Structures are given as C-alpha cells and as structure tokens.
Amino acid sequence: MSCEAPALDPVFLQLGPLPIYWYGVIIATGAFLALWVATREADRLGVKKDYIVDLVVFAIPIAILSARIYYVVFEWDRYVGEPWWKVFAVWEGGIAIHGALIGSVITAIVFTRVKKLSFWQIADIAAPSIILGQAIGRWGNFMNQEAHGGPISQSTYESFHQYLPDFIMNQMCIEGTMYHPTFLYESIWNIAGFILLLVLRKYPLRRGEMFLTYVIWYSIGRYFIEGMRTDSLYIVGELRTAQFISILLIVGAVILIIYRRKKGLTTHTYQGKKIRQHKKK
C-alpha cells in the first residue's frame, strides 16, 4: 500500500548541539512509571520500597547495557565499517528487550542474594511494572519508525483507517509505503498483560508464579508479533532470535511452575496485603 505522509520529528528537544530524542524520553517515562507501580506493590505487600528503588538503580543501567550488547551481537554486520561510536548510539534505537530482561534478572538474582531476600518475591512484585514499562517503551520504536511489520494491503489500510488515529497512520507511512504497526500490537498485548496481572493479584498464586505468568504471557505475544516484523534479529538462517527465545521462555516457565509446586518450593503465596520478609526460597 503506497502512501505519502510526513514523519514525526524524532527529536524531543534540542539543547544547543545536543539533541534529546523522543525515544529516550519515552523509555525513561516507562521506567519511572514502572518504578512507581513496583514501589506501590511492594508497599501493599509489606516489602520495603527502598529494596525496589535500590534494585532499580542497579538494574536499569545494566539492562540498557545488556540490551545493547544483545542487539549489537546479533546485528554485528550493521556496524562493520561504521564509526566506532555507533555501537553505543542507543538513542538511535537498537536495544533488545530479551537482552534487557537477561541483564535485569541476573542483577535481581545477585541483589536478592546479597540482601538475603527471596528473588521470587521481588520478581512477583516487579512483574506488573515490567510489562507496563514495555508497553510504554514500544512507543519509542514508533517515534523512530522501527519495530514495524511488513507492508499492508489496501483493504487492511481501509480497515485501519477507521480505527487508528492519523498520527499513527502517518508515522507508519515510511518512504511511501504503509507498514503494519507491530509496535502498537505489542503495546496493546502488554497492556492487556498488565491488566491480567493486576486481576491475578486477587488469587492465591504461589511464590514466583506472578513473574512466570508474565514471562509466559509476554512470550506468547512476542512470538506471534515477531513473525510479522521486518527488522528481526536472526540466530541462523531464517530462525528469528526472539521467536526462539520466546519458545524457550514459555517452556521453561511452565516447567518451573510445575517443578516448584511438586518440590514444595512455593509454600508462600503472592496474595495478601502484608506478607513477612522471607529468606531465599
């Protein structure tokens, strides 16, 4: 489907020679809102909010670094022959959610061991805020006109035009071609996941199952949406990295839920207005 529309300016603010991009502003907004949600959830469950704040102070820079490393490793050919600083140009996009999750989980494991807290308890508290932050962060991709799908047909365009605002339609018109707004699909999926996790707080989930439910929900959506994207990272041949990782995460999360229940490692429930601090379990 051909089209003509002006793109939104990716620069939020120009401070002399220093541009501040919408991408960074939106990612930061998602992170701060996620932190606010996590601290409220910690307070509801009787966990010191300082633990969450301290963890985030370490986790955010490590997550950004690991997300960038993950992306650059799988897109190394793109940076060959480019100026060396392009490897660090995260403001131009190019960070991978799975890389960020890997870095965040490793950071949380180390942090909870040092603080003698339950990793699973902290992970449960963080789960709703993580998926909310991801939902918001996808709009950074929107501003960069990235993470979109393939070209849409005329009939699809007409259907979208009835429901989507012009600013989304215009931004998905790239070099005269209209593309699937897969960033929007994933953002909506993640918002639905956030609502699901809030609802599940009313049920007596076992320790760790809130976080593992997040992993399963996000991975299911990511698997199908990734298949529509045109900018996927690949492990080898046509095997998309995100789809492969999503399958591993779904299978791993289900196995962990079953294993931890059978082994009695989930004696404490997530539900409750106040729960005591526990050692690692």
Encoded tokens for 254: 């289900």
Consult the annotation and say whether 240 binds a ligand.
Answer: no
How far is residue 47's CA from residue 53's CA, in Å, rounded to a whole number? 12
Q: What's the burial of 5, exposed, middle or buried (CB within 10 Å: 0-12/13-18/19+)?
A: middle
Q: Are 7 and 145 in contact (CB under 8 A)?
A: yes
Encoded tokens for 52: 């969450």
Specify the long-range contacts of residues 104-108, CB closer than 8 Å, at least 24 apart: 104/59, 104/62, 104/63, 104/66, 104/130, 106/62, 106/66, 107/55, 107/58, 107/59, 107/62, 107/63, 108/55, 108/59
Distance of CA 76 to the CA centre of its chain: 22
Report phi then psi at 57, rounded to 5.
Answer: -55, -40
Q: Return binding residues.
A: 138
